[in-house]
């Protein structure tokens, strides 16, 4: 479980996050949604400690990471997997080397065990047989999936995905969403997903916080989204008139 208590973040005196309170539970897909520029990436980077918060506290179970030493932070991080918005693959390494890197670094497993684990996670993201490709030789969506494979290879307790399906077609996007959902349930992971993809919201949104200009504007789950009368949320999720009509039809059906 991760708990945020009044998290603030400013850059050069300009505040980007204005006091975020939230709870992300284990075994659930927690979604952070919001328009481009609303502060999703900054929030996740604060939670994983890449950015220092300007004020507030972030608790992983009972540890307050805003007060943790560098060393404590490093050991906590071995339980964290993260998918970056741009993939952040090591471009001098092959797909396989990217995915096995955490295994090489932190485990004493044998060569064979490592290879098996790599093949296993690559298969989960539908990339079997792509082991020897370089990141420059695969598509954007494939890079994302390699990023996910690398994030989950160590069986993390906490998984952060910054826009796992931006730039993917709706079908692949769903595959990724389901993958994230399954491993969250399977290993009881605390998963936080940044997204502005309305399909993901409906598919896996068990606990959603909606950011608007650096504040939590709304929170709930995918069922509540349909019935909420928050204007900003409605405008964000049901942006097109087509979706607005679809929503009305859905609500009437119930």
Partner 1 sequence: MSIFTSIGRYMILMSHIFSRPENGRMYYKEVMRQMNAIGVGSIPIVALISFFIGAVTAVQTAFQFVGSFIPPYYVGYVVRDTMLLELSSTITCLVLAGKVGSNLASELGTMRITEQIDALEIMGINTGSFLIGPKVIAAVVTIPLLVVLSAALGILGGYMAVATSNTIKVSEYLRGLHAFFDPYYVTIMLIKALVFGFLLTSISSFYGYYVEGGAYELGKSSTRAVVISSVAILLADYVLAFLLT
Which residue in 30, 27, 5 sits closest to 206, CA to CA?
30
Q: How far apart are CA 179 and CA 174, in angstroms?
A: 8
Alpha helices by DSSP H, listed for 29-110, are 40-47, 70-77, 95-106
Answer for the pair 33, 210: CB distance below 8 angstroms, yes or no.
yes
By the rule CB under 6 A, 165 interacts with ligand ATP = no
Kindly indicate which of the ranges 16-24, 97-105, 198-206, 235-243 contains the residues binding partner 1, using the contact rule CB under 8 A: 97-105
Kindly indicate which of the ranges 22-30, 67-75, 111-119, 206-214 contains the residues binding partner 1, using the contact rule CB under 8 A: 67-75
In whole angstroms, the minimum distance from the beta carbon of 188 to partner 1 comes to 20
| Backbone φ and ψ of 21, nearest 5° | -115, 135
Q: Judging by DSSP bridges, how do beta strands 207-212 and 29-34 pair with one another?
A: parallel
Kindly indicate which of the ranges 55-63, 85-93, 206-214, 236-244 contains the residues binding partner 1, using the contact rule CB under 8 A: 85-93
Interface residue with partner 1, options 61, 63, 78, 139 (CB under 8 A): 78
By the rule CB under 6 A, 36 interacts with ligand ATP = yes
Q: How far apart are CA 233 and CA 30, in angstroms?
A: 17
- 224-228, long-range: CB < 8 A, 24+ apart: 225/201, 226/250, 226/251, 226/254, 227/251
Residues 61-90 that bind ligand ATP (CB under 6 A): 85
Interface residue with ligand ATP, options 7, 31, 33, 42 (CB under 6 A): 42
Write the DSSP symbol of residue 132.
T
Kindly indicate which of the ranges 33-41, 90-98, 145-153, 225-233 contains the residues binding ligand ATP, using the contact rule CB under 6 A: 33-41
Residues 4-23 that bind ligand ATP (CB under 6 A): 11, 16
Answer for the pair 23, 6: CB distance below 8 angstroms, yes or no.
no
By the rule CB under 6 A, 94 interacts with ligand ATP = no
Residues 37-56 that bind Mg ion (CB under 5 A): 41
16 binds, among partner 1, ligand ATP, Mg ion, none (CB under 5 to 8 A by kind): ligand ATP
In whole angstroms, the minimum distance from the beta carbon of 159 to ligand ATP comes to 17
Strand stretches in the chain, DSSP E: 2-11, 14-24, 29-34, 55-60, 63-64, 80-83, 158-162, 190-195, 207-212, 215-220
Question: Which residues are near Mg ion by CB under 5 A?
Answer: 41
Question: Which residues are near ligand ATP by CB under 6 A?
Answer: 11, 16, 34, 36-42, 85, 196
């Amino acid at each position: 479980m991760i708990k945020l208590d009044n998290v603030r973040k400013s850059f050069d005196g300009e505040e980007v996050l204005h006091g975020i309170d939230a709870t992300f539970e284990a075994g659930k897909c927690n979604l952070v949604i919001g328009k481009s520029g609303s502060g999703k990436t900054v929030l996740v980077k604060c939670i994983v400690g890449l950015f220092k918060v300007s004020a507030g506290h972030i608790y992983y179970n009972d540890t307050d990471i805003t007060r943790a030493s560098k060393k404590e932070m490093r050991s906590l991080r071995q339980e964290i997997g993260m998918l970056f918005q741009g993939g952040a693959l090591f471009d001098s390494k092959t797909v396989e080397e990217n995915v096995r890197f955490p295994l090489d670094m932190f485990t004493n497993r044998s060569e064979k065990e490592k290879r098996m684990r790599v093949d296993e996670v690559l298969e989960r993201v539908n990339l079997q047989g792509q082991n020897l490709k370089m990141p420059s030789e695969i598509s954007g969506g494939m890079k994302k999936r390699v990023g996910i494979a690398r994030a989950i290879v160590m069986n993390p307790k906490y998984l952060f995905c910054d826009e796992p399906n931006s730039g993917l077609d709706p079908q692949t996007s769903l595959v990724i969403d389901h993958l994230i959902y399954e491993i969250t349930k399977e290993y009881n992971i605390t998963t936080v997903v940044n997204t502005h993809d309305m399909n993901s919201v409906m598919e896996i949104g068990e606990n959603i916080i909606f950011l608007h200009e650096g504040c939590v504007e709304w929170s709930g789950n995918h069922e509540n989204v349909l019935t909420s009368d928050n204007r900003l949320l409605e405008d964000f999720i049901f942006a097109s008139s087509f979706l607005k009509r679809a929503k009305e039809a859905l609500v009437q059906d119930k």
